[in-house]
């Protein structure tokens, strides 16, 4: 049923019950839907059975089922029932008016929806179907024209052919039940309808929202019904993120379709992911989402954190950082030599010496001994030079003058060595 505003025709009533009618919203197989208002100005969508069908008892029964279904369903997925009169000459009922275009009109005017939009609408519809099925009702005619996109979310309308769960009829006098291309195979065969029947219709509806075409193409009713039963759906153009789920909804066997709850949860997940993906939603983002470490990875990480890392060799003369006191020292592997202790000279290491010995002064013991010997020798030579110099400055004697001169020469040489040695910093 296409919901568009049209002027009232000459044959249309102006008042029904306590409601004044203003516009035609659309017409379907059962009757006409009007835009009306009550005395308080509340707007309603009022549906009246066609005059030529009002006398048919079967149509009256179907209309009564629709009213009964609307009364049982709770939640915001459907238009709330306001009033009804099943005993009037032309039975009618009024529901809350839902502003907004149908899904069919939106796709026709604006083109296919993105994956994020389709998944978001689908998640709301699946959650709505949960409320419908919890009331023991199967819609049986879910399709794009029976979904209104209100500012508060999509709403399911037109329960004119709704049946209790387990009912099994296909056609009724004067009209065909359901819409080819959106009917489930069990409906075409006349088998029992279940909530899985609406899941099939929702899958076909989401495929239409993504491609602006039925997954079973176009053609006569007979051709479409044959394809639904015997051919696989064509999902060319359906976003990659949605294609597997829609294909599962369109399974020929009702048992192979996801439940309404599973469908709702999965569509919410896809909608949330696609909302942060590529703008057009035609592809799943290539970047991988961060994965939670498994229990095995957590265990390995905890085990590695208790083992010390091997001490790194000192670079540039700096000592390596000491490992934490709580970590046990790692024993050297038998197949590789133990690392040289940090700070030990490469040459002159005593075999079997305790690691770290001789490091109290931070210098090589052999070098200290050599410097001590040089210091003693230089000190003796300086002392000898001072004594000899004093002797050279004394009164000269005639005897032994040659020996005296030689002693003075040795003293001068010793004094020079002391000066040089002191300048090089040996002392």
Residues making up the binding site for ATP: 47
Residues constituting the chain: 427
Give the bridge partners for 316, in sequence order. none
Q: What region, left, alpha or beta, does residue 219 occupy, with left being phi > 0 and alpha being psi -120 to 50 degrees? A: left
Q: Which of 105, 141, 213, 280 is catalytic?
A: 141
The H-or-E segment that residue 331 falls in is none
User: Is the separation of the CB atoms in 31 and 52 below 8 Å?
Assistant: no
C-alpha distances in Å from residue 317, one per residue of 11, 71, 198, 345 = 105, 87, 78, 11
* Sign (positive or negative) of CA dihedral 79, 80, 82, 85: positive
| Unique residue bearing structure tokens 């409320």 | 131
| Cα 411 to Cα 51: distance, rounded to the nearest angstrom | 147
- Residue 157 CA to its chain's centroid (Å): 33
Assess contact for 160 and 62: CB atoms under 8 A: yes
Look up residue 416 and give its two tokens: 């020079």
Q: Where is the binding site, in residues? A: 47
CA atoms within 13 A on the CB side of 397: 6
Backbone angles phi, psi at 49, to 5 degrees: -70, 145
Token representation of residue 128 = 């709505």
Instruction: Please report the beta strands in 219-371, taking only residues with DSSP state E, as ranges in sequence order.
Output: none
141 flagged as catalytic: yes
Annotated catalytic residues are 141
């Amino acid at each position: 049923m296409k919901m568009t505003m049209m002027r009232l025709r000459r044959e249309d009533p102006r008042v029904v019950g306590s409601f004044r009618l203003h516009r035609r919203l659309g017409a379907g197989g059962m009757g006409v839907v009007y835009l009306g208002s009550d005395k308080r100005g509340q707007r309603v969508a009022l549906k009246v059975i066609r005059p030529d069908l009002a006398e048919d008892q079967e149509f009256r029964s179907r209309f009564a089922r629709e009213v009964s279904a609307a009364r049982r369903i709770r939640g915001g997925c459907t238009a709330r029932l306001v009033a009804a009169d099943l005993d009037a000459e032309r039975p009618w009922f009024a529901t809350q008016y839902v502003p907004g275009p149908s899904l069919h009109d939106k796709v026709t005017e604006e083109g296919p929806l993105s994956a994020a939009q389709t998944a978001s609408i689908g998640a709301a519809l699946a959650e709505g179907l949960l409320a419908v099925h919890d009331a023991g009702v199967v819609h049986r005619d879910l399709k794009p024209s029976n979904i209104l996109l209100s500012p508060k979310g999509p709403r399911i309308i037109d329960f004119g052919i709704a049946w209790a769960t387990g009912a099994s009829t296909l056609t009724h006098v004067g009209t065909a039940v359901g819409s080819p291309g959106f009917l489930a195979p069990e409906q075409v065969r006349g088998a029992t309808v279940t909530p899985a029947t609406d899941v099939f219709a929702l899958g076909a509806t989401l495929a239409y929202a993504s491609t602006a075409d039925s997954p079973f193409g176009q053609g006569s009713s007979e051709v479409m019904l044959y394809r639904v039963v015997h051919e696989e759906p064509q999902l060319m153009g359906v976003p990659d993120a949605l294609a597997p789920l829609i294909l599962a909804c369109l399974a020929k066997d009702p048992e192979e379709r996801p439940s309404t709850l599973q469908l709702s949860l999965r569509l919410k997940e896809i909608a949330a992911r696609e909302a942060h993906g590529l703008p057009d939603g035609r592809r799943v983002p290539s970047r991988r989402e961060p994965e939670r470490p498994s229990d095995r990875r957590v265990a390995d990480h905890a085990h590695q954190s208790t083992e010390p890392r091997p001490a790194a060799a000192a670079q540039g003369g700096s000592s390596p950082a000491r490992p934490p006191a709580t970590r046990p020292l790692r024993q050297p592997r038998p197949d590789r030599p133990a690392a040289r202790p940090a700070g030990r000279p490469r040459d002159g290491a005593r075999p079997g010496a305790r690691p770290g010995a001789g490091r109290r002064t931070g210098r090589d013991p052999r070098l200290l001994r050599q410097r001590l010997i040089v210091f003693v020798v230089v000190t003796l030579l300086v002392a000898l030079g001072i004594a000899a110099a004093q002797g050279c400055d004394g009164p000269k004697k005639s005897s032994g003058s040659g020996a005296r001169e030689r002693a003075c020469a040795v003293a001068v040489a010793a004094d020079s060595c002391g000066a040089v040695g002191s300048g090089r910093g040996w002392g």
